Amino acid sequence: MYATYELDESGLLCEPAERTSDIQFPPAMNTLLLAVWLALCAVGLGVIVLAKNPIAGAAVIALPTFAGMLIKPTFALCVLMLILPTGAGVGLGQAFSLDRGVGLALAVTFLLNVMLTRPGVRIRHRALWVAVGLSLWIFIASLPQPYLKMELTRAFTQFQLLVLVLIVYWILETNYERTFIWALRSYVIGMVGTTVLAFKTGAAIRAMHETRDTRYSATLGSAIDANMLAALTALAFLAAVYLFARDRSLFWRAVYLVALLFLPVMMLKIGSRGGLVALAFTMLSPLLFVRQVLRRPMLAVLSLLVILLASASVGFLVKQRGLDRSVASRLTDVERARTAMDFRMIPIKKAVGSAVVRPIGAGYYSWFERTGSPIWPHNDFFFALGVYGIPGAILFAVLVILLMLTVKRMPLTLEKLYARAVLTFLLVMGLNIKQLSAKYYWVFLAFVLAAERLSQWRAEETDDLIEQRDEALAYPDD
């Protein structure tokens, strides 16, 4: 967002206060509104649990939440991030879910809020325009496919994801730094909370019908893919690392410390080989940037401390309680890993062959019939190549390149390290699973792009402090 300049009372140019999408109130009023919302949520939960009336309880919670989301898009984003770890299937027979309901409320309230506040924003990142082009191509590629109605439904899902990423980006770009911090706080809290529920109600969330392993593959409601759960957990871990380094509040640092100890245990219980490899590579990736590490040695020390802390937590779990035999076998059986890799190479080879025969793509639902593959390619690039054809693969590759260039040009701050870690994890994880149809994938890409603005602010703030220190040293008497 670019501010315009105006004349102050002395006739000099000055930068006016930034116009945000949040409707501004005094701090005391904000605290009061939050307290009222928490009280109403408590009442609603009481109606659900004690009065056994889930519909009335949900209404008590939903109405003030919707009003708060309308007034404060920052609050709306925090609610979305709080619910995001639940995945899908939390609700009534898959037709409606908590996850989908919050997404719909976010879209509606944001549209109404924009009509009220009219926050000025310009989409500064070309990566978002490429995302628009990819979504448009997915719609075009669906038209000649045999299962047209189903393909159009999938194209509409991609459109929803595009709208979501634009809304998240807009909220982050048109509000202050605290929006970025509070959204990530909400996500960490949501992930820790759903992990606790997973441990407490393990029988309800073990996808025994989906996998022969007794490993965690969902948090609430119906089972989701275990690799997706691993990605959700790892992204919360990376957010906790960033917040622990950035936040100065002792209370919040205690919360992040719990997450840093707790989430690696969940990663191990999930048993996702790809998730563990991607997270390990991400945490060790700063060692590939030697010059930057030498410039900020304390950040390197922090990374090593986090790695040691997570390793100690996992080691304590294994020593005290051990792992389920099937999960331990999954993580240590080399032959089983080789068999799984050979199996996943089949659709990748078929994606290349399919792109030669059908350059516009085999289609999302007709993929199985046209290729004979029992699964989609477990790789973002080859999924785009096989399902959406050569144009889809090119657009995806351009999107990745633009994201990498965005991170590269950021000043060296904690925000850059966080954005690089998230992007590294998503790209490495994308070598093992397909994420183009996952909500978390697009939401965190918006955070990567928004981190550039914060990084520039932090760098300018640091430069100003250095200049003030130099002036104080040069003119001590002044």
Those residues whose C-beta lies under 8 Å from the C-beta of residue 96, and which sit 6 or more positions away, are none
Q: Average pLDDT by consecutive 10-residue portion of the chain (478 residues)?
A: 39 46 86 92 90 87 92 93 71 59 90 82 87 95 90 91 92 87 94 78 43 45 66 92 88 89 82 84 71 60 67 63 57 67 84 92 90 88 94 96 94 90 94 87 94 87 57 51
Tell me what pLDDT residue 133 has.
96
Tell me what pLDDT residue 316 has.
64
CA distances from 477 to 36, 42, 57, 470 (A): 52, 58, 66, 13
Tell me what pLDDT residue 130 has.
96
Tell me what pLDDT residue 447 has.
96
Tell me what pLDDT residue 52 has.
84
Tell me what pLDDT residue 49 has.
84
Tell me what pLDDT residue 281 has.
87
Those residues whose C-beta lies under 8 Å from the C-beta of residue 446, and which sit 6 or more positions away, are 165, 168, 169, 172
If you write DSSP's letter for every residue of 434-467 in order, what string do you get? --TT-HHHHHHHHHHHHHHHHHHHHHHHHHHHHH
